[in-house]
């Protein structure tokens, strides 16, 4: 299993937190918003920056409702995140640990190098009753790693 895909409710919520809840990451891990349009409850841009430390990012997504329209979100264990990741092979060769895509407000795909992260995300998917859950295998990997898929 290379990843997981599922469908989230099309509404304002702490949805990113619900997906990533209990993921064990170093507080110094780096979160990068590669592409995205995520709105706050006032309809303004939720993310003011492209780069966050995990501890700050986690606090923000846990404490504030948001509405993801599209998103390409990446987590790195260190600050080596200069490489563009255009496909699954490049993801495997990169320092990136997890990539999360949201398209069309409700379709989510998560790829991770750590099986325990995938297991925790699967538990969250079940806990929050997300729909259309599928495990991604070699035949289902998106050809391009972009939120505009």
For the record, the structure tokens of 103 come out as 């398209």
Q: What is the pLDDT of residue 83?
A: 74
Q: What is the pLDDT of residue 1?
A: 66
Q: Is residue 90 scored above 80 in pLDDT?
A: yes
Quote the CA–CA distance of 91 and 139 in Å, as a whole number.
Answer: 16
Q: At residue 111, what are phi and psi to the nearest 5 degrees? A: -120, 135
Quote the CA–CA distance of 62 and 87 in Å, as a whole number.
Answer: 29
For 6-44, the pLDDT digits (tens) are 999 999 999 999 999 999 888 789 999 999 999 999 999
Rounded to two decimals, the pTM is 0.91
Q: What mean pLDDT do residues 120-124 have?
A: 96
For 50-64, the pLDDT digits (tens) are 999 999 999 999 999
């Amino acid at each position: 299993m290379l990843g997981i895909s599922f469908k989230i409710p099309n509404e304002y919520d702490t949805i990113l937190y619900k997906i990533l809840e209990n993921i064990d990451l170093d507080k110094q891990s780096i979160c990068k918003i590669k592409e995205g349009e995520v709105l706050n409850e006032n309809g303004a841009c939720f993310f003011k920056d492209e780069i966050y430390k995990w501890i700050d990012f986690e606090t923000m997504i846990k404490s504030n409702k948001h509405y993801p329209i599209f998103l390409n979100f990446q987590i790195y264990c260190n600050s080596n995140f200069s490489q563009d990741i255009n496909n699954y092979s490049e993801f495997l060769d990169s320092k990136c640990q997890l990539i999360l895509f949201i398209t069309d407000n409700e379709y989510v795909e998560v790829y991770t190098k750590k099986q325990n992260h995938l297991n925790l995300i699967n538990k969250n998917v079940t806990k929050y009753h997300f729909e259309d859950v599928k495990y991604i295998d070699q035949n289902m990997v998106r050809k391009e790693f972009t939120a505009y898929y």
